[in-house]
Amino acid sequence: MPDHEGESGLTRGELARETGCNIETIRYYEKIGLLPDPPRTAAGYRIYSASHLGRLRFILRARELGFPMEDIRGLLGLDDGAAPNCAEVKARTERHLADVRAKIADLRRVETVLAETAAKCSGHHVPDCPILDALGPKDG
């Protein structure tokens, strides 16, 4: 392991373990500019500070909440360079919330169709399966 210089400072592997993030994903986020390039040891090993840790956690939490990458960028203030202002953050959150609600509504419709269809099927008879019928004729 690279020299820790007596101070804290995480290697990529440690950061990955700490956050539960895949180790390669960290490099990927660096490449696409979500994470700033960390300083390196003489040998070229990345050294992450608490600030990187916080930022990565932020990204992962936003991801868990389903924010699209573009929004995460915006929330981090990477769109315009300036720190994101509150109104912008709120707007983004509400747009995303609307998307989530739309997705829920979609899935509920799907749920209904699937449940109804599955209920019609006894699971016994082979031909004329009501599920397949509901989906439409496969042939002819």
Partner DNA sequence: CCTTGTGCCTGTAGTTGCTACAGACCCTAC
Partner DNA sequence: GTAGGGTCTGTAGCAACTACAGGCACAAGG
Site residues, DNA (CB under 7 A): 1-3, 11-14, 22-25, 27-28, 40-46, 63, 68-70
Q: With the C-alpha atoms ordered 65, 66, 69, 75, is the resulting torsion angle positive or negative?
A: negative
Phi-psi region of 47 (alpha: psi -120 to 50; beta: other; left: phi over 0): beta
| Residues β-bridged to residue 50 | none
49 touches 24 (CB < 8 A): no
117 touches 103 (CB < 8 A): no
How many residues in total does the chain contain? 140
Q: Which is nearer to DNA, 33 or 54 (CB)?
A: 33
Among its own copies, DNA, none, the one that 58 touches (CB under a kind-dependent 5 to 8 A) is its own copies
Per CB under 8 A, does 54 bind its own copies?
yes
Kindly list the residues in this chain that would bind its own copies in the complex (CB under 8 A): 50-51, 54-55, 57-58, 61-62, 64-66, 75-76, 83-87, 89-91, 93-94, 96-97, 100-101, 103-104, 107-108, 110-111, 113-115, 117-118, 121-126, 129, 131-132, 135-140
